[in-house]
Amino acid sequence: MALSLLSTALCLILIFSQSLPSSVSSSKETNFLDQDPTAYEILGDYNFPKGLLPKGVVAYSLDTATGKFSAFLNGTCSFSLEGSYQLQYKSSIDGYISKGRLSRLRGVSVKLFFMWVDIIEVSRNGDDLEFSVGIAGAGFPIDNFEECPQCGCGLNCVGDNRKVSKIRSNPFVSSS
């Protein structure tokens, strides 16, 4: 009799566990791989254009409770945008995302004069994006970021028929 009750209980547990979704988790952190939204689509959900990230993001994670995110590339990535700015992305980019604001960024740098400085924050202000490197910042029209740049060649890759105008910007200025 006890063996029969144990068997029945095990069968019910197996049936019940099979009917639960396999993604049930106590953590709010989600890793999106397969056919879930892309990192570029997630940027759109937070009111940012997809062109903030270069082509080739292979995975990302997002904790929707805190806004902590990470995006992963196959390796480091660098390119120039119309000769105006040189950018570097590490293989892992992370920070915190909220509507219209990326903060505490790590993994993205811009070359100013002869030195590389980290971009630590991006905020959306109407139709402009404001980039901060801490002591200075620059504003760019959001339409500059409609397309994702490609590692090595930016927006002017060989075989690419798009004509891209020079990046329009407000030069980096002091934040004081």
DSSP notation for the chain: -HHHHHHHHHHHHHHHHHHS-TT--SS-EEEE-SSSPPHHHHHHHTT--GGGS-S-EEEEEEETTT-EEEEEESS-EEEEETTTEEEEEEEEEEEEEETTEEEEEEEEEEEETTEEEE--EEEEETTEEEEE-SSEEEEEEGGGGSS--BTTTBT--TT-----PPPP-EEEEE--
29-174: CATH topology is at5g01610, DUF538 DOMAIN (2.30.240)
List pLDDT tens digits, range 54-79: 999 999 999 999 999 999 999 999 99
Q: Which range scores top for mean pLDDT: 27-31, 59-63, 78-82, 166-170?
A: 59-63
**Given pLDDT bands bounded at 50, 70 and 90, which one contains residue 126?**
very high
| pTM score | 0.70
pLDDT higher than 50, residue 19: no
